[in-house]
Structure 1
């Protein structure tokens, strides 16, 4: 639609054109030749005509010839039904009135007359040009210095006075079509022409009632195409939209692409697109943002895996628990456990425990995780069962015990052989009669206070201890014998006392005191 040039002077061309066809006396005069009229108003086209002779039989107004031999009579056109009137009189006046003008009525209108004479047909040219225009408010300038202009597509007649409205209340009346007072994004503005206040322009205002819709509606499934549409009530229409989103309650950030259209399309939506979204709509009058909507992308099981507890080597008789984990939305509602190469499932539930493991339990295990959107198997987990093992401490104690037993046995064997050798070489008989008290007998006695003989002292200068090995004492029947340590008493076979020493060895230090 061509807009009127700013600063143009309203001019009405009121001039008559007389068209004469040769010298036959035919003519049609249109006054004026062009009329710029507001949409919704009434226009009256005036003309006068002459003809050479005969009687006028038919008169009509038309805008197009059509395909017939005669043009289409405007009064019989359904588009004008009930909106046109002809006015003819004897003074050869031919007027046309069109009510409730529409922009589609914009055309060139011509008058035609027919007489009863041969060849008595005539259409007047060039006709009357009737542009029909509505009022529009044009917004120019920036956010802080906007200017409004009331514009039309043609030059209105009679230098009209403009009236301005703010939120449907009159705020200014001026011959200027400009309005540049303080303008608020939240307010609406419109203009009208004085005398036609009921034909005001549509109001201009910033975006309002901005919202986001999702298509297709219903559950959003990963991999499908999803479209977000930003809708807003605005005039002029929204020029561009900015899309914002945030995930997991973080900060909002704009979607980094060049799309400023009112639609944002996910060709194949992903689970990572889950989050909150809103749009910001903008036109020349201001901006407005929508409420946030939540995009919850549903998807089947993914990243399914199996963990084992306790970790480490698995031995017979122990117990382990397998746990299945997976990412899914909605959450998983079914877990099934399988052993590789075994047809039937082993168990169900997120965890699977194997108690008192035996060697037959070894093998590969995996789980199947499932929700309403699908299922997925985990990778197989190999369980290797080792035989029973003795603990390191128990093994160490056993080894120590065996070594000690071997040492003791060897020590006993060596002592026995040594004693046997000494018994053979050192045994001697004592011929002295023992009278009175019997002497005490010691086994393994060290440092006993005794009165050594000179010969004994000399013989044992370098010895440290006194050792007895198996001392057998024979007493008389009535003699009282004191016992020390492990002394074995034998009953005498005869009445006389005999003292026998078997391998008696005295080891005394040179400075020992007895």
Structure 2
């Protein structure tokens, strides 16, 4: 082999802690096709956001025609993650240069744990799918209490199913919903107290909203609050129910909901900004609900629940449910020649996968169950003199402003 006419590209990959080299050879002056992943494996928290990145090369005379990320491949057939319903509204592709790509997945779920690969196509060739990509493991926190038997002191361990990729995490410990301590170790020792109603939870700094479920320090019954949903997106003018379940070791004397952006917790039923729009329809014990009617954009906030006993008050450190209030707007973009695509857009993704309804000149186009009109997009003639509007099923009175003839003919993105 004449080494003066060849070059060797070394791609270093970590596999099970052992360095392995993939050799890709090519002629000097040429850039062969190759993909190198930034990480061979990533461990991320459930509910968080992860970036999976790679760098790729190709001959300088090739033009890239398509790039995509995928997680499943059968007989050479791959599905672009951006088109996969399981990742709807949770996947984005980013790039900083012409030779890198980043897959961003938000609101991670345990079902997202799999191997992800990058693929690109040029006008001359396509990168294959046989090389390993990046394996993602999604985990949550759990608190383990040892020893199980009665002891003067116990050790609390904040455990995950994989080792977090976050370097040198700082663990945060909560007692009865209140920030108690921080440590670089996932283990913490506590002396046994006489209060058997205490509960403990853990998180890592920077992801305090992803704390573990509360566990009882002694026995099986202890103080805790669990929110039904962490995020809710609803329409301006509608009504929302925000709920949680709570357990009090002692008899409860009072309970209320408050906004987390207040300097001190304030019962929403006494807040002038919510006068006549707030009620607590839940039972005194068990599930507790906050109902807000005639929603306004300024109601967008995080809402938390607290309760009191004669000698105890649930802490205010835990995150609650974040409410986002949005209106509807029709966005117009060019489609095929002589056509426009209408999209019913919101500032957040509406909760519970709503069915959309389209109106033409104030008249419903079809039944809301129709496949043609149940999505948030609609294709119309660009030169139409008609006006269009959209709404969500069961909230027909909250439709968007109409898009008229002028906008259809002249709107551009």
Assess same fold via TM > 0.5. Answer: no
* Structure-2-length-normalised TM-score: 0.44
Q: TM-score, normalised by structure 1?
A: 0.36
Which of the pair has more CA radius of gyration? 1
- More RCO (CA 8 Å, sep 6+): 2
